Structure 1
Amino acid sequence: MPQHDQLHRYLFENFAVRGELVTVSETLQQILENHDYPQPVKNVLAELLVATSLLTATLKFDGDITVQLQGDGPMNLAVINGNNNQQMRGVARVQGEIPENADLKTLVGNGYVVITITPSEGERYQGVVGLEGDTLAACLEDYFMRSEQLPTRLFIRTGDVDGKPAAGGMLLQVMPAQMPSRTTLTTWRR
């Protein structure tokens, strides 16, 4: 992980919740530097980078995770690949006009999120969920509920620091062995 990028892991033992906190600036700048993406595309790539970094931080084995958005919109593909050592790369494919304030649905159109987990040893796993949330974080929370069945919250922000692109995020997840009751889940969402 480059010097200006940071990853912190933590555990709320009394609540059986684990978390990851990440900030990325240097890696994001490297991904964006050779492309002339419109700002909404840069924002989505930044969000994907944060999400992929948070997901790779949860790996308990050597391997990598690819998070990609695919759809029929003007940004029909955006993908970030990262490994358990937090080495990341990514790209987006843009075809057509991108409105200045385009949101995720406008960019991707009808589409889906694909998460591919590739361990260095063992079987590859791929999960696919429809792009039904308004944000990437909401779509990934939906992925965790559908495929992993783990209550998960994601918070992702993008912007500039000292005039350069940067992003950060936090993942909170109930520990698998400590699945909460429905009452606890209601409290969890708050």
Structure 2
Amino acid sequence: MCFFSKKKFVAAISCLKRAIYLSPLDWKINYNMGLLHVHTRQYASAYSYLSAAVKINRTHAHTYMLLAITLKHLDDTENARMCFEEALGLAKHDLEILLNYAIFLQSIEEDNRSREVLKEFFLIYQNGVHGDTELSETANQLSEVLLPGSRHNTKSNPPSERESSSSKTESNEGTLDDEVLNPHQQLL
């Protein structure tokens, strides 16, 4: 996976294919191959590897999340929703899964449910479970779209500063198309 972190995807695929040849029932290898294919936008291949990883290990929530993202890109929203629900059932307080699910719901125009999931994200975030800065920035962008004028914010600004920053709008208003993937946390 060092090739993946260096964005040398062909070399990463080559190494992982060799690893799958040597150990086809290792769910982590299938998961990493699926993650690599999601990042290279090869969703049909990603589906193949991620579904194999799910069949081998049904208890890893992030595999279900990646499978849901893959299914969304393959225009299978019902199965994507079921995968997100399964991921949340396994890891109810995982910020990355909650945020990706909120983005998914917003992308299929289920804004009310997306708001609920985003509020749950902020509740968990404010109770001390913090993700990386990319997660918090994306959550703030989504909250500007779904929760205009709300005080939900992952920044630790004082209230007066938060109010002035919430009145500013960024150029990314509208819909958020891409899910948040943090490959450095996902590597196994």
Which structure carries more strand by proportion?
A: 1
Judge same fold: TM > 0.5, yes or no.
Answer: no
Computing the radius of gyration from Cα coordinates, the structure with the larger value is 2
The higher relative CO (CA closer than 8 Å, separation ≥ 6) is in: 1
Structure number with the higher helix fraction is: 2
